Chains A and B, each alone.
Chain A
Amino acid sequence: MSEEQTTGTLTSYLSFKMGEEMFAADVGKVLEILELCPITKVPKSPSYMRGVINLRGKVLPVLDTRIKFGLPKTEDDVDTCIIVLDVNMDGESLHLGAVVDSVEEVLELGKKDIEPPPSLGNTFNPEYIHGMVKREDTFIMILDVDKVFSTDELAVAKEAAEQKNREEKIEEKKAEKEKTETKKTEKAKK
């Protein structure tokens, strides 16, 4: 009982690095960490899908977290590795790999250590972030793993998302314009 209480207040998080940013994910969601291995690219799949790997006889889809998060692409190096995650997608458990720049450490955090994500001025979409933790001089963003990896969007970086939105809006406007134009011509024909 007492054990449960102590672990109940403290949760373990695995922190990893992407460029200069630090992220963390609930250890309960992490199944294992793999060294980077050859990844079979699947043609015609979304850009953030790195491909599939053979995980002891099972086919595991692997995402490129950098692209998913809207960060610039870099070359893989010795620190690059794959975190195998157990993601809940529409009520079903799904295993997938996420390529990250490097894995850092396991943090033991209590509830009070985690601050809610600031609603203003952050570069990342708060919808996918569980909270923030201050460590020395940097902030670590705790990800809502289920949400981040189960969406089809590449949408963690707000900027990227906004950029996309803007593009979409422009496209919509264009389409509307075209529609009205075709209508006009049709009317003219009539």
Chain B
Amino acid sequence: MEQFKKKFLEEAADLIAGLEKALLVLEENMDDKSVNEEVFRIMHSLKGGSSMFGFHKMDSFTHNLENIYDLIRNNKLKLSREILDITLEAVDHLKILLENGDELSKSDEKTHNELSGKINKITQNIQQSSNEPPAKAEAKTNEQNKPASDNLPAVDEIPTYHIIIKPFEKIFKNGTNPLLFIDELSSMGHCKVYAKTGKIPLFDKINPELCYVSWEVFLATDKSTDDIKDVFIFVEDSCEIKISKIADINLPAKSLFVKDLDNLMRDDDFCDTYKLKELAKTVVEKEKPDDELELTKAKNVTSLAKKTAINNIRVASDKLDNLMNLVSELITTQASLSLYAENNENTELTSIAENIEKISRQLRDNTFEICLIPIDTILIRFKRLVRDLSQELEKEIQFTAEGTETELDKSIIEGLTEPIMHIFRNAIDHGIESADERLKKGKPKQGKITLSAFYSGTNVYLQIKDDGRGLDAEKIRKKAINRGFISPDANLSYKELLNLVFLPGFSTAAKVTELSGRGVGLDVVVKKISDIRGEVEIESQLGVGTTITIKLPLTMSIIDGLLVKINETYFVLPMTAVDKCYEVKTEKLQNNFNNKIKLDENLVPYINLRKEFDIQDNMPDVQQVIRVKHEDQNVALSVDNIIGEYQAVLKPLGQMFKDLEIVSGATILGDGTIALVLDSGKITNTFDRETIKKREEVLKAKIDRENLEKS
């Protein structure tokens, strides 16, 4: 039972997410019948599942909700924004109900009652009003329990499925009521049900805990086989279900067929599909004697339906983590094998090692892919946020998303939601102006926020762009001076000024609102993003808008790197940063007063890693210089030797080195020695003279400022 319940919880969470999504789509186009239909369907499945697994509150709650959408579906109620608001609130509440079951905390209980009241009011209103023109409407309301197909136009062209439901005798033990499925099936379309009661023993031999009945259902519906299968999703293991398509036309609507069928069904055995198809064929032939093509098609589809295999499976995420760890270990081991093969000149061994290297690389890539999930999955939360906030602040905002199929490692996605929410909140609260203000400025009334995601190299970029008022660099400067972040005479570029907003304790909004601007601002975003090895950049034009770009690594655990050596220590530089390698005489690096070196006719600032890392022994005559990119800037790093390309399995250095920013981790080489993975960006920030100089200026200005204040 527990296992079913778990499955239900997972499914229900998905359903709720789907519901939220569908509702937001519905909001954009309120008249879209098909979306409304979907909303109804999802609620219906939720209701079924929740009653089956003892979520009684959820059951009655969704039942009432469902009623609303049933009314809308039958054109008895017009969908309004008000209804959508309540429904979305209800969706949030459903999440709570799902989590807590029937035991709610006091405050949740209160919202439960409030919401239920609101929902009932809607349906009551409509039922009362529908009583006024009594004749037709009343009849329809009463029809609610009848098959939905009665309300639909009697379509002839919908396929008919033959469904055999054969519950195992013990099905009652886990609380399943098979009749619910029949109900649900009958709501899907035109349907004819036959119960097979032949197995019921004599009265004195009946065991009330066992199920003796099975059913045969003929269902004409426009839903697919998968949709029908979904009905049985929670009982797959305790029922024998057979679904086959027998014709492309609505057979239960044909009296001829039903008559024959009634005869057939007197028999207690299940009809075999072949017989039914023959029967269908004769019906079809009698109805439309010429159309043989249709028939063969029907046959083809049946065989296709049989072939339908499982395309997706659900895997617990810790299993994936495990797989990832194993792959990491494999790659480490493979590295030692390759090294061993290299040292033992055995051609056979070498070729095996090479093969293993190739395969493990593929395995690595595949495993990464498995762990990737599209950004789409978190999008719904942002949509919701934009919607709720824009309403609250009475701003009209249109939210669009591009490149949502872009995939990221699941651990990164997990860490990403919160900071992005924060950025959105900022954009909506401070960025986008009110409608009046926008019109005055000659901008369209509706504000626009775009989230776009795209790949570039081994990085993923996320851009959040708004067309709001933008950042005022002068205001930032004044504020920074005021707060003592920079000195009044500091000469900062536009970009540097903008970057000041990422400093802790910096908030530009003049007034503090409930939503954002409490001083815990963008610095938290930066911190969170850098926790997942990402970087944040800001661009803005006053009056035009702001763009925040988040750069993220594709994965967190294995990186392609360049293995280099300084004296006895191995280092790995991330391949993404490496641009080009050069060979330079050591003396050229040493006798250089402004730390610039000429590479390919360009003067590039360089960082002598030997000097910075304080390594003096075994100075070579010739050093290798690696040009790396960092924030549109080229910096050269000098090392003793370049060993080659290397797949580094990142291992954390741990608590003891948590303040050491320039090393992002360690990796174990084939022979067991440790190589340190360097963060070239942080190295540039820490050692590049010009960068440091600027930072010192800022710091000095701050101290001066403080001193001034004191005196």
Rounded to whole Å, the gap between the CB of B568 and the closest CB of chain A is 8
Quick check: is B241 within 8 A (CB to CB) of the other chain?
A: no
Q: For chain B residues 654-678, which have a beta carbon within 8 Å of chain A?
A: 654-657, 660, 662-663, 666, 668, 672-676
Rounded to whole Å, the gap between the CB of A33 and the closest CB of chain B is 19
Quick check: is A166 within 8 A (CB to CB) of the other chain?
A: no
Q: For chain B residues 631-686, which have a beta carbon within 8 Å of chain A?
A: 651-657, 660, 662-663, 666, 668, 672-676
* Contact pick for B666, options A45, A52, A92, CB 8 Å: A52
Docked-complex contact A43 and B711, CB < 8 angstroms: no
B-side contacts of A96, CB under 8 Å:
656
A-side contacts of B186, CB under 8 Å:
none
Rounded to whole Å, the gap between the CB of A63 and the closest CB of chain B is 8
Rounded to whole Å, the gap between the CB of A89 and the closest CB of chain B is 6
Docked-complex contact A186 and B711, CB < 8 angstroms: yes
CB within 8 Å for A57 and B711 given contacts A40-B569, A44-B660, A92-B655? no
Docked-complex contact B612 and A43, CB < 8 angstroms: yes
Docked-complex contact B657 and A89, CB < 8 angstroms: no
The 6 A-B residue pairs with the shortest CB-CB distance, nearest first, are: A43-B613, A61-B656, A40-B674, A183-B711, A59-B666, A59-B651
Docked-complex contact A94 and B655, CB < 8 angstroms: yes
Docked-complex contact B569 and A61, CB < 8 angstroms: no
Quick check: is A187 within 8 A (CB to CB) of the other chain?
A: yes
B-side contacts of A40, CB under 8 Å:
569-570, 666, 673-676
Q: In whole angstroms, how far apart are the Cα atoms of A89 and B666 in the complex?
A: 21
B-side contacts of A58, CB under 8 Å:
651
Q: In whole angstroms, how far apart are the Cα atoms of A40 and B674 in the complex?
A: 6
Instruction: Please name 13 further chain A to chain B contacts, defined as beta carbons within 8 Å, in addition to the given A43-B569, A61-B657, sorted by A numbering.
Output: A38-B673, A40-B675, A43-B662, A44-B663, A45-B657, A49-B657, A52-B674, A54-B668, A54-B673, A59-B651, A59-B652, A59-B653, A186-B711
Docked-complex contact A89 and B674, CB < 8 angstroms: no
Q: In whole angstroms, how far apart are the Cα atoms of A57 and B615 in the complex?
A: 26
Q: In whole angstroms, how far apart are the Cα atoms of A170 and B708 in the complex?
A: 24
In the complex, number of A-B residue pairs with CB atoms less than 8 Å apart: 73
Residue among B332, B568, B570, B707 with max Cβ neighbours from chain A (10 Å): B707
Rounded to whole Å, the gap between the CB of B665 and the closest CB of chain A is 8
Docked-complex contact A43 and B663, CB < 8 angstroms: yes
Quick check: is B710 within 8 A (CB to CB) of the other chain?
A: yes
Docked-complex contact B674 and A61, CB < 8 angstroms: no
CB within 8 Å for A54 and B657 given contacts A59-B651, A186-B711? no
B-side contacts of A89, CB under 8 Å:
655
Q: Give A31-42 as 1s and 0s: 1 = Cβ < 8 Å from B's Cβ atoms.
A: 000000010111
By beta carbon, the residue of chain B nearest A49 is B656
Rounded to whole Å, the gap between the CB of B550 and the closest CB of chain A is 28
Q: In whole angstroms, how far apart are the Cα atoms of A38 and B675 in the complex?
A: 12
CB within 8 Å for A54 and B711 given contacts A40-B569, A43-B663, A59-B653? no
How many residues on chain B are close to A (CB under 8 Å)? 31
Quick check: is B418 within 8 A (CB to CB) of the other chain?
A: no
* Contact pick for B668, options A45, A57, A94, CB 8 Å: A57
Q: In whole angstroms, how far apart are the Cα atoms of A52 and B570 in the complex?
A: 12
Rounded to whole Å, the gap between the CB of B322 and the closest CB of chain A is 15
Q: In whole angstroms, how far apart are the Cα atoms of A187 and B710 in the complex?
A: 11
Rounded to whole Å, the gap between the CB of A53 and the closest CB of chain B is 7
Rounded to whole Å, the gap between the CB of B334 and the closest CB of chain A is 13
Q: In whole angstroms, how far apart are the Cα atoms of A44 and B660 in the complex?
A: 7
By beta carbon, the residue of chain A nearest B661 is A44
Rounded to whole Å, the gap between the CB of A107 and the closest CB of chain B is 28
* Contact pick for B660, options A45, A54, A183, CB 8 Å: A45
Rounded to whole Å, the gap between the CB of B682 and the closest CB of chain A is 11
Q: For chain B residues 154-184, which have a beta carbon within 8 Å of chain A?
A: none
Q: In whole angstroms, how far apart are the Cα atoms of A183 and B703 in the complex?
A: 12
Q: Give B112-127 as 1s and 0s: 1 = Cβ < 8 Å from A's Cβ atoms.
A: 0000000000000000
Quick check: is B329 within 8 A (CB to CB) of the other chain?
A: yes
A-side contacts of B662, CB under 8 Å:
43-44
Quick check: is B614 within 8 A (CB to CB) of the other chain?
A: yes
Q: In whole angstroms, how far apart are the Cα atoms of A89 and B657 in the complex?
A: 13
Q: In whole angstroms, how far apart are the Cα atoms of A53 and B614 in the complex?
A: 20
Docked-complex contact A54 and B674, CB < 8 angstroms: yes
B-side contacts of A94, CB under 8 Å:
654-656
* Contact pick for A183, options B615, B655, B675, B707, CB 8 Å: B707
B-side contacts of A186, CB under 8 Å:
707-708, 711
Rounded to whole Å, the gap between the CB of B560 and the closest CB of chain A is 20
Q: For chain A residues 46-76, which have a beta carbon within 8 Å of chain B?
A: 49, 52-54, 57-59, 61, 63
CB within 8 Å for A57 and B663 given contacts A42-B676, A183-B711? no
By beta carbon, the residue of chain A nearest B674 is A40
Residue among B656, B672, B676, B707 with max Cβ neighbours from chain A (10 Å): B656
Q: Give A169-190 as 1s and 0s: 1 = Cβ < 8 Å from B's Cβ atoms.
A: 0000000000100110011000
Residue among A42, A53, A58, A94 with max Cβ neighbours from chain B (10 Å): A42
Q: In whole angstroms, how far apart are the Cα atoms of A44 and B683 in the complex?
A: 11
Docked-complex contact A42 and B653, CB < 8 angstroms: yes
Q: In whole angstroms, how far apart are the Cα atoms of A10 and B329 in the complex?
A: 41
Docked-complex contact B332 and A57, CB < 8 angstroms: yes
A-side contacts of B668, CB under 8 Å:
54, 57, 59
Rounded to whole Å, the gap between the CB of A177 and the closest CB of chain B is 13
A-side contacts of B711, CB under 8 Å:
183, 186-187
* Contact pick for B672, options A41, A54, A182, CB 8 Å: A54
CB within 8 Å for A57 and B329 given contacts A40-B676, A43-B612, A186-B708? yes
* Contact pick for A179, options B570, B666, B673, B707, CB 8 Å: B707
By beta carbon, the residue of chain B nearest A40 is B674
By beta carbon, the residue of chain B nearest A63 is B656
Rounded to whole Å, the gap between the CB of B700 and the closest CB of chain A is 11
Docked-complex contact A43 and B614, CB < 8 angstroms: yes
- 26 CB < 8 A contacts A-B: A40-B569, A41-B569, A42-B657, A42-B660, A43-B612, A43-B615, A43-B663, A44-B613, A45-B660, A49-B657, A52-B674, A53-B674, A54-B673, A54-B674, A57-B329, A58-B651, A59-B651, A59-B652, A59-B666, A61-B653, A61-B654, A61-B657, A63-B656, A92-B655, A94-B654, A187-B711
Residue among A40, A43, A89, A94 with max Cβ neighbours from chain B (10 Å): A43
Rounded to whole Å, the gap between the CB of B167 and the closest CB of chain A is 51
Rounded to whole Å, the gap between the CB of B687 and the closest CB of chain A is 10
Q: In whole angstroms, how far apart are the Cα atoms of A1 and B675 in the complex?
A: 50
By beta carbon, the residue of chain A nearest B332 is A57
Q: In whole angstroms, how far apart are the Cα atoms of A96 and B329 in the complex?
A: 21
Q: For chain A residues 100-122, which have a beta carbon within 8 Å of chain B?
A: none
Rounded to whole Å, the gap between the CB of B706 and the closest CB of chain A is 9
B-side contacts of A44, CB under 8 Å:
612-613, 660, 662-663
